[in-house]
Amino acid sequence: MDTVILREGFEIKIINPALCLISRLNNLYSLGYGKYKKEREVIRIIIAINITKNYFNDLLEHPCQRRKALNIASLILDTANKHWCLNLCVRYTLDLLRAIPAQNPNFGERFKNGHYLAMKEKINSRKDSKYKKIQKANTKSI
C-alpha cells in the first residue's frame, strides 16, 4: 500500500500500481477466465501498464523515492522474465516493459544501461523464441 497526500492533513491509502499490475497478470494466468473475462482483463492490464508508467514518473520526481522506483522496476522485470508471464505476454501481445519509463533520467544511467538493458534483451529474446515456436506450429498445421 502507498499513501497519497491530497492536501495537508488528508491522505488516503492506495494499492501500489505496480503490484496491481502484477496481480492482474496473475489473475489472467491462474483464474481460468472465459473468453470475455480474458478480454476484459487484458484491457485492464494494458491500463495498469500505463498507470504504472505514470506512477514511476511521479516517484522519480522525488529523489528520496528513487530507491523505491528501482525496487519496483526490478520486481516488474523479474515478473516479466517468468515463464508464465512470458507466455501471457506472447499470447495477448502485452509489453510489460512499457510500464518502466527507463528513458526517465532520474532512473540513472547505471540502471538504464545495466540491469534494465540486460533484462530487456533477455526478455525480448525469450519472447522472440516463443513467437517463433508459435509460427512454426502454425505453419505445420496449415
pLDDT in the model for residue 85: 94
One-letter amino acid at 72 equals I
**Contact indicator for 31, 44 with CB cutoff of 8 Å:** no
- Along the 142 residues of the chain, how does pLDDT read in single tens digits? 676 666 777 787 878 899 999 999 999 999 988 889 999 999 999 999 999 999 999 999 998 999 999 999 999 999 999 999 999 999 999 999 999 999 999 998 999 999 999 999 999 999 888 888 877 777 776 6
C-alpha cell at 12: 488516503
Do residues 22 and 74 touch, judged by C-beta distance below 8 A?
Answer: no
- Tell me, letter by letter, the H, E, C secondary structure of 80-139: HCCHHHHHHHHHCCCCHHHHCCCCCHHHCHHHHHHHHHHHHHHHHHHHHHHHHHHHHHHH
In this structure, what DSSP letter does residue 62 have?
S
CA-CA distance, 71 to 81, in Å (whole number)?
Answer: 15
Residue 19: the pLDDT is 94
What are the residue ranges spanned by the domains of the chain?
2-141
Q: What local confidence, expressed as pLDDT, does residue 102 receive?
A: 92
Distance CA(91)–CA(125), nearest Å, equals 16
Q: What is the pTM of this model?
A: 0.84
